Amino acid sequence: MVLVAWVLLAAAVYHVISRLVQFRQLLAKIRFLPGLRATTSLLGHARWIIPMRIPYVTHGANLLFDGKHALFKQFGLDVISIVSTHPLQALFVIADPAILREMTAARSRFPKPVEIYDILSLYGPNIVASEHDAWKRYRRICSPGFSEKNNRLVWSETVRVVTELFDIWVGKDEIVVDDALALTATITLFVISSAGFGQAIAWNGGEERPEGYKMSFKEVMHHMSTGVFTKIATPQWLLDLGPTEKMRNTNTAFKELGVYMSDMIRQRRESQHKEERYDLFNGLLDASEEEEEGELKLTDEELMGNVFIFLIAGNETTGHTLCYALALLALHPDEQEKLYQQIRSILPAGELPRYQDLRNFTYADAVLCETLRMFPPVFGIPKRAADDAFFKTTNDAGEPVVVFIPKGSDVLFDTAGLHYNPKYWTDPHTFSPSRFTRSDWPRDAYLPFSGGPRACLGRRFAEIEIIAVLVLFVLRFTIHVKDEPKYRSETEQQRRDRVLKSVSVLTLTPTGVSLVFKRRK
């Protein structure tokens, strides 16, 4: 036993020394670019197992968003390295607008590491989990679906969904919403269901289950949207066992969604009288029925894979951003009043907004932009260097620095670091929508939807939806943070931190937003 112990100890010592030598060689390879050093990788699973930061061991789940630009300030450079020993990896984290602009423009030199996104290919290949020729093909086919006619549909369906909610609230001068995220996620879910799938969902009713189904479409959408992380993080065998109600509902919803989509495809193809519809599903279905070089543009699996990814991306990011926007307006009544005054200048009689009014709601757009600046849905956008790359920049002392990124290195666009970079944003921690009303705001330092050819295809869909919701809510109600006795002794900063507390799940997620809507007289 003593001999075995000595052998194991010797092996452990050898491993440590060997890994330290390799670690030193890696640092030399990246020319000792300043940054963080730790045992585990920022991109690894350790951040979920140990969510808090332990210096030199793990970075935690929220390192980049919590740190914002402070990490870059610490090292005096807007490009830093995060080097780990297990795995042996150098990650380049970037908040330099010039470098990011060059990288987004040179898509082939910095492709997406698609293996990270395999978990999103639940129904089939899609535009998010693809690169190179496959991505080009999906982009070309999917782009026409995000048309002006679809934009109009998004607007009209958003107005319908919100006004139906207001009808439920009729007779109430004050509405308390303990979980604002649940409210905003439901609104965006109903809109994406209609403008994305062509399946309108009402606030009341809609629980009828077609013959052969275990869930109504409304139930499927609800359990799918609230259980997506459960689906991705849980092995299928465990979901099939169903030890919890959450797992059982999630498993059933994802299976049923596939059946619903298959039936929708079949019914559309068998229909003798095809309606002219402008939802995304039918737009992609039209494209899938066309031939290109003797083959269908999209197989059924690819159609379902892309519709699903637009559903997840559209609902998750839009619902969260809308929640942050309402919370920020509640915390800043002066900004809320500015927005209200502009809305009333456009709708003096308090009438419902029309799609043709959209371009005039400039302050609602500014509120949205400022919300996305402060709370970018995806604050770390991964890329990978296809070849050795050199970039010139300057450090905080004004000295020239050459950054070398070796072929195969992982790169992370740090949108939080970029959006809070004081070199480009005055008082970056202050909610100030008016900064986006000026023509000279720093566009290169703003990347909530990524950039270049891989910029988010559904950007306009989300913008139109959120602006419509903000206009409708602010026109009818004043928005307030819920007053709770247990928090009455907190400072304004403590209140703000509590209300805007966030965690990183699939995207940046608000966790503490409770609001009160008071009807305007």
pLDDT at 27 over 70: yes
What is the Cα–Cα distance from 436 to 363, expressed in whole angstroms? Answer: 9
pLDDT at 357 over 60: yes
pLDDT at 296 over 60: no
Q: Which of 1-5, 32-36, 481-485 has the lowest mean pLDDT?
A: 1-5
Residue appearing with tokens 């997840």: 312
Mean pLDDT over the full length of the chain: 90
Mean pLDDT along residues 364-387? 95
Amino acid of residue 427: D
Per-residue confidence (pLDDT) for residue 3, from 0 to 100: 76
In which band, very low, low, confident or very high, does the pLDDT at 461 lie, cut at 50, 70 and 90? very high
Query: Which two structure tokens, joined as six digits, stand for 329?
Result: 């307006």
> Residues with Cβ < 8 Å from 48, sequence gap 6 or more?
61
pLDDT at 340 over 90: yes
Find the helix or strand (DSSP H, E) in which 13 lies.
Answer: helix 2-29
- Pairing status of strand 88-94 against strand 508-510: unpaired
Count the Cβ atoms, other than its own, within 10 Å of residue 454: 20
Q: Which of 4-8, 96-100, 154-158, 328-332 has the lowest mean pLDDT?
A: 4-8
Residue among 118, 173, 188 nearest 465 (CA) = 188
Q: Which residues are annotated as a binding site?
A: 456
Query: Which two structure tokens, joined as six digits, stand for 468?
Result: 């419509």
In which band, very low, low, confident or very high, does the pLDDT at 451 lie, cut at 50, 70 and 90? confident
Diameter of the chain measured on Cα atoms: 89
Mean pLDDT along residues 376-402? 93
Query: Which two structure tokens, joined as six digits, stand for 99?
Result: 């470098």
What is the Cα–Cα distance from 245 to 250, expressed in whole angstroms? Answer: 8
Count the Cβ atoms, other than its own, within 10 Å of residue 8: 10
pLDDT at 151 over 60: yes
- List the chain domain ranges: 2-122+382-419
Q: Which of 73-87, 284-298, 432-446 has the lowest mean pLDDT?
A: 284-298
Q: Which residues are annotated as a binding site for heme?
A: 456
Return the half-sphere exposure (C-beta side, CA atoms, 13 A cut-off) of residue 369. Answer: 18
Strands (E), 148-243: 174-177
Per-residue confidence (pLDDT) for residue 272, from 0 to 100: 62
What is the Cα–Cα distance from 197 to 215, expressed in whole angstroms? Answer: 17
Q: Write out 354-377 in H/E/C secondary structure.
A: CHHHHHHCHHHHHHHHHHHHHCCC
Three-state SS at 227: coil
Mean pLDDT along residues 381-406? 94
What is the Cα–Cα distance from 471 to 322, expressed in whole angstroms? Answer: 12
In which band, very low, low, confident or very high, does the pLDDT at 507 lie, cut at 50, 70 and 90? confident
Per-residue confidence (pLDDT) for residue 379, from 0 to 100: 85
In which band, very low, low, confident or very high, does the pLDDT at 44 lie, cut at 50, 70 and 90? confident
Per-residue confidence (pLDDT) for residue 295, from 0 to 100: 57
pLDDT digits (tens, 9 = 90+) for 213-248: 999 989 998 888 888 888 888 889 999 998 999 999
DSSP assignment letter at 262: H
Find the helix or strand (DSSP H, E) in which 338 lies.
Answer: helix 333-346
Per-residue confidence (pLDDT) for residue 287, from 0 to 100: 74
Per-residue confidence (pLDDT) for residue 452, from 0 to 100: 83
Q: Are 521 and 371 in contact (CB under 8 A)?
A: no
pLDDT at 196 over 60: yes
